[in-house]
Amino acid sequence: MSIDPVASTAPPGRSRTRVMVVDDSVVIRGLIARWLTEAGQFDVVTTAANGRIAVDALDRFKPDIVLLDLEMPEMDGVAALPLLLKRQPGIKVIVISTLTQRNAEISLKCLSLGAVDYLAKPESNRQASTSEDFRCDLVEKLKAHAGSRARSADAVSAPAATYLRPAAKPAHSRPQYLLIGASTGGPRAIEEVLTSLGPVAQRVPILIVQHMPAMFTAVFADHLRALLGMRVCEPRDGEGVLPGNIFVAPGGRHMGISSGPAHPVIRLDDRPPVNFCRPAVDVLFRDAATVLGPAALAVVLTGMGSDGTQGARALVATGAMVLAQDEATSTVWGMPGGVAKAGLAHDILPLEAIGPAVKGYITGSTL
């Protein structure tokens, strides 16, 4: 067994996020360790060449976050994940894989098993070492999860925050369209919301923007289709937005809505990223404000960044209703927190309450 020890860089009296890097490539382990050390708020406490070594090292090094490669000899990431979570409950595991359909499927499976996030890495070590996007994505994801961990610890003794809300819930008929925006932690959250709707999900078109690479969104749509027994797809440009359909924005393209002769239609485009994202929640929400107005019901779920806040502002101005996931149940309270702190959420709800609330609005039982 070989463990790569890494000296602690934490100054006395200052707590940093402890990270374990698990990858069979010594080049990748070294790159990630260097990048995180240079970022200034992480201690890479150890690295390991496979899942077995990582599991055996967990008690000794007690990391807060584990970066776990999927493809490794002896014990791969899928086999190691449940063992890591069992041995250290509450640890945050981020799975890393090259961008293939098989790895996208495995990554989504890992999210269902308890991983908090995933990261696509370049196919070769050389590409990884020169990819500024990979480096930035890695560091930003870890910063978001580290911040979430710190806030969770602070929240144990702190009273719940109170945020401004729009003056009143809109007094209008039942919403005719459901819009959902999410990022980090979103796949599991979206799954819970949609399954709790039951047959009510058939009554309205559902449009989802989940920040994911292209191959991942297609696999995610397939997963939801099998789970829900409904038509779930990455839509075609110009496709009608009709009840009984769940549209997942394709990775790498913005999904919006345009007016059509009989009903709204999907608009796909390749314009530059918005909030560093493509697809972006703000693009969908802003289009919905123009085309759907108060007929829309928007839900902002867990995710890093602030995507969705400006679009939520546009929706609220039309009389549409916006719901946000609360901090306690969010993997990262960036996106829903931005909406809540801007005073744009009519309700700030725990994840388990969002589906029932949406169901009530669609059926009219809570209007």
Reply yes or no on whether 211 is catalytic: yes
Tokens read off for 156: 């144990």
Q: Which of 340, 284, 354, 288 is nearest to 318 (CA)?
A: 288
Tell me the C-alpha distance between 132 and 74, whole Å: 31
List the end-to-end C-alpha distance of the chain, in Å, as a whole number: 62
Q: Kindly list the distances between the CA atom of residue 108 and the CA atoms of 117, 121, 349, in Å, as whole numbers in the listed order.
A: 9, 15, 25
List 23, 69, 76, 307, catalytic entry? 307
Q: Which residues contact 169 (CB under 8 A, 6 or more apart)?
A: 321, 346
Buried b / exposed e over 314-331, threshold 16 CB at 10 Å, is bbbeebbbbbbbbbebbb
Reply yes or no on whether 145 is catalytic: no
- HSE-up of 89 (CA within 13 Å, CB side)? 0
Q: How do beta strands 117-121 and 92-98 pair?
A: parallel
Q: Which of 182, 266, 192, 256 is nearest to 224 (CA)?
A: 192
User: Counting Cβ atoms within 10 Å, is residue 260 exposed (0-12), middle (13-18) or buried (19+)?
Assistant: middle
Q: Assess contact for 69 and 96: CB atoms under 8 A.
A: yes
Tell me the C-alpha distance between 343 and 107, whole Å: 35
List 97, 107, 148, 183, catalytic entry? 183
Tell me the C-alpha distance between 210 and 108, whole Å: 13
Per DSSP, the residues of 21-81 read EE-S-HHHHHHHHHHHHHHSSEEEEEEESSHHHHHHHHHHH--SEEEEES--SSS-HHHHH
Reply yes or no on whether 263 is catalytic: no
List 43, 145, 148, 211, catalytic entry? 211
Backbone angles phi, psi at 278, to 5 degrees: -150, 105
Q: How much is the CA Rg of the chain, to the nearest whole Å?
A: 21
What residues are annotated to the active site? 183, 211, 307
